[in-house]
Amino acid sequence: MNDTAPRVINDSLSPHDFSRLGAIIQDHCGIRMPPTKRTMVEGRLRRRVRALKLASMHDYCRYVLDEGALDSELVNLIDAVTTNKTDFFREIEHFRFLNERGLDALSRLPHHPGKDRPLKCWSAACSTGAEPYTLAMLLHEHARAQSSFRFDIIATDICTEVLATAKLGIYPADMAGMIPKAIASRYVRRSRDREDPTIRLVPQIRQSVRFGHLNLMDADYPVATDMDVIFFRNILIYFDKPTQKAVLHRLCRHLRPGGFLFVGHSETIANMDLPLTQVASAIFVRS
C-alpha cells in the first residue's frame, strides 16, 4: 500500500452500508445483492478504498452514498460487483448447434442472412470477449468453406473493465486450452517470449467484433431489431425473476423471427410468456 495512504482502522462493510449499496447496484444493473454477497463485495471494494486513499470501508460508503460521489463512482462500483467468468468455446454444444444446424436454418430465412446481408450476431453480456471471439472464429471457419459468407458481431457489457480487456484480445495462455487445436492454430498466437504467459488473437478475429457499453436494465437498446443470433448466457442467474422477464422481453424485440437465442445451460426461461420455442438445450428460436 502507498505510504501516504491513511492507515486502515476498520475495513469491514456493515450490513447497513451493504444493504444501501446493494439497493443501488440492483436498481442500476439488476444484479441481485442478497446478504450472502457481503463478504465478496467487501473484498472487491477494498481496492477502491485504497485507490481513493480512504481510511475504511465505512468512509467509502459515506463518500459514495452521502457525499455525492455516486455518479463518478458508479462505474467502479459496477466493475467491482460484476462476475465476469467466461471462456472460449464455453458450453461448446451451442457452437456445435450453430455450426451443424443453426447457420443452415438461418441461411434459408428471408433476406438470406450471411448471403444477401451479413449474419447479425449479438453477445449481450460478453465479459472479456471470449464468447463473441469464439463466434468470430466459428464464423470465419464457416466463411472458409463458403467464401461469400458475411457476418457482423456486436458484443456489449455493463462493465467497463472487461470491455477494455476484450478490445485488447490478449488472454492468459491457459484459456487457449478450450480452443480446438486446428482453430487455435489459425487464430491464436503465443508470444515469442516464452516467459510471457499470454496469448493474442490475430487481427482478423479482433477486428470481427465491435464492443460497446450497454446496460441491459435500460428501457431501450441501441441495437438492430433484426438480429439473427443473440447470446445471452450466464447472466440470468444474477437477476431476479421480474428483471429476467423484462430483459428477455426486450431482447426478443431485437431478434428476428427464426433467429436464435442462446442462454446458459443452467438457466431457465420457463413461464415468462416469451415469443420463443425451445429447439435444443438452452437454445430457443423466435416465433
Ligand X SMILES: C[S@@+](CC[C@H](N)C(=O)[O-])C[C@H]1O[C@@H](n2cnc3c(N)ncnc32)[C@H](O)[C@@H]1O
**From 20, 44, 117, 200, active-site residue:** 44
Nearer to ligand X, 54 or 126 (CB): 126
Nearer to ligand X, 149 or 284 (CB): 284
Please list every residue from 164 through 203 that binds ligand X, using CB under 6 A.
none
Nearer to ligand X, 58 or 94 (CB): 94
Instruction: Select from 125-133, 167-175, 184-192, 219-227 the region that touches ligand X (CB under 6 A).
Output: 125-133
Q: Report the C-alpha dihedral over residues 70, 75, 77, 80, rounded to 10 degrees.
A: -170
User: What sign has the CA pseudo-torsion 94, 95, 98, 99?
Assistant: negative
Tell me whether residue 157 is one of the annotated catalytic residues. yes
Among 7, 85, 181, 192, binds ligand X (CB under 6 A): 85
Helix axes 70-81, 38-51, angle to 10 degrees: 130
Contact between 86 and ligand X by CB under 6 A: the answer reads yes
Q: Report the C-alpha dihedral over residues 28, 166, 44, 82, rounded to 10 degrees.
A: 30
Tell me whether residue 7 is one of the annotated catalytic residues. no
The answer to whether residues 125 and 216 touch, using CB atoms and an 8 Å cutoff, is yes
Q: Compute the least distance from the CB of residue 79 to ligand X, in Å.
A: 8
Among 13, 21, 31, 285, binds ligand X (CB under 6 A): 31
Q: Is 10 annotated as a binding residue?
A: no
Contact between 209 and ligand X by CB under 6 A: the answer reads no
151-157/170-172 β-pairing: unpaired
Contact between 215 and ligand X by CB under 6 A: the answer reads yes
Q: Compute the least distance from the CB of residue 193 to ligand X, in Å.
A: 28
Contact between 26 and ligand X by CB under 6 A: the answer reads no
Contact between 25 and ligand X by CB under 6 A: the answer reads no
**From 17, 59, 79, 157, active-site residue:** 157
The answer to whether residues 104 and 114 touch, using CB atoms and an 8 Å cutoff, is no
Grid cell 481513493 — which residue?
52
Contact between 243 and ligand X by CB under 6 A: the answer reads no
Contact between 30 and ligand X by CB under 6 A: the answer reads yes
Nearer to ligand X, 90 or 206 (CB): 90
Instruction: Select from 136-144, 175-183, 233-241, 266-274 the region that touches ligand X (CB under 6 A).
Output: 233-241
Among 13, 21, 25, 29, binds ligand X (CB under 6 A): 29
Q: Write out the three cell numbers for 216.
A: 441491459
Query: What residues make contact with ligand X under the rule CB under 6 A?
Result: 29-31, 82-86, 90, 125, 127, 131, 157-159, 162, 214-217, 233-235, 238, 264
Mind telling me the catalytic residues?
Answer: 44, 157
Instruction: Specify binding-site residues for S-adenosyl-L-methionine.
Output: 84, 86, 90, 131, 157, 215-216, 233-234
